[in-house]
Structure 1
Amino acid sequence: MKNSIKLIVLDVDGVLTDGKLYIGSDRVEYKPFHTQDGMGISLAHYAGIKTAIITGRNSEAVSKRAEELKIQYVYQGIHDKLSVLEEIMSELNITMEDVCYMGDDINDLPIMQKVGFPVAPDNAVTLVKSSAQHHTKARGGEGAVREMIDYILSSQHDYSALIRDYLDGKITITQ
């Protein structure tokens, strides 16, 4: 990680979730999200880091979770993730070097090959892991996003001060 990260962009299936699709007989899609990832996203926001979701699938569960976590940019049903990222970067006036992207499969490679800090969860396919600068010990949906965020925050901020602010009631956290 060369520069400070200003934007964290996440895929959903296999990153924020375990990658399994749960579709009920009512055709409603269910997704399990990890509360530790939510805590990490809240800490990133407090530290001034913006967050985005860019995913190839559409899911009401993703919309609900993103709203709970106050994720600023949420794009679903996207096949050209790179062009969406470029739009976000233009709005934020940042460069690729300022972006961290976490993905787990080959549809994430176009972004991962361009951003300043590409990260893969432990369950990512081999090709994606080899394209990442960092990969987590945790699997997607099992705290991988939190592990990545802790790594970034520890590198860029006084992490213990962030925790003190939480303990002192200065941060409202959504898990």
Structure 2
Amino acid sequence: MIFSADATERARRVRFIIFDVDGVLTDGGIYTGESGEFMKPFNVRDGLGIRQCQNEGFGTAIITGRASAIVSQRAAELKIEDVYLGHLDKRSAYDDIKARHGLQDEEVAYVGDDLIDLAVMQQVGFPAAPADAVDEVRALSCLVAGKEGGRGAVREIIEFILKAQGRWANVVARFTAPEKVTNVSQ
């Protein structure tokens, strides 16, 4: 993991995390079945991380350039209600999220991996990227995960934010408490 000197301070302000999909929540590959259906691999550790940051009160959203039923289904599983599909220019979706949730730029983290993400990443307070993001995105990010997209990068970024805010112990406590574990979609 590589992070800027001010990454921890910037992470302390985050209240909302926005994710790109291809190359962030997936490995960027698009798999086609025999009958032409598309498939994408999602990482369950990323999913658990998303659910746990939601349990800690963070808002979450997806903005992706592709329209995909698979993404809608995965978002529903993870209880991500703000899902913007087919947004090649992601700025209007970002503006809508800020307005709907009363957010300032410094309260938002965005995880992106490619040139299509740069416009929003320039605006947010906490831009972050997987290890295999393009050079321009990595250079703009205050945190670059040690893991690649679709391989745990999102979880790593979420853990960094939660630890910076002193909330990671709450997450671990939920899994070590004697009560039944709840709110654990992966």
Fold match, TM over 0.5?
Answer: yes
1:79 deviates by: 1.5
Q: Choose the corresponding residue for 2:167, options 158, 169, 174.
A: 158
C-alpha RMSD of the superposition: 1.2
- How many residues are matched? 175
What is the TM-score of this pair, normalised by structure 1? 0.95
C-alpha separation in 2, matches of 1:96 and 1:20? 30
The one-letter code sitting in structure 1 at the alignment partner of 2:166 is H
Pairing 1:34-113 to 2, within 5 Å after superposition? 34-113=43-122
1:80 deviates by: 1.8
State yes or no: 1:147 paired with 2:156: yes
What is the TM-score of this pair, normalised by structure 2? 0.90
Q: Which runs of 5+ in 1 are unaligned?
A: none
Aligned to 2:32: 23
State yes or no: 1:173 paired with 2:184: yes
Matched position secondary structure for 1:74? strand
Could you tell me whether the CA contact under 8 Å between 2:66 and 2:86 is conserved in 1?
yes
C-alpha separation in 1, matches of 2:99 and 2:181? 31
1:26 deviates by: 2.0
Matched position secondary structure for 1:79? coil
Aligned to 1:32: 41
Q: Choose the corresponding residue for 2:125, options 116, 130, 144.
A: 116
Q: Which runs of 5+ in 2 are unaligned?
A: 1-6
The one-letter code sitting in structure 2 at the alignment partner of 1:71 is I
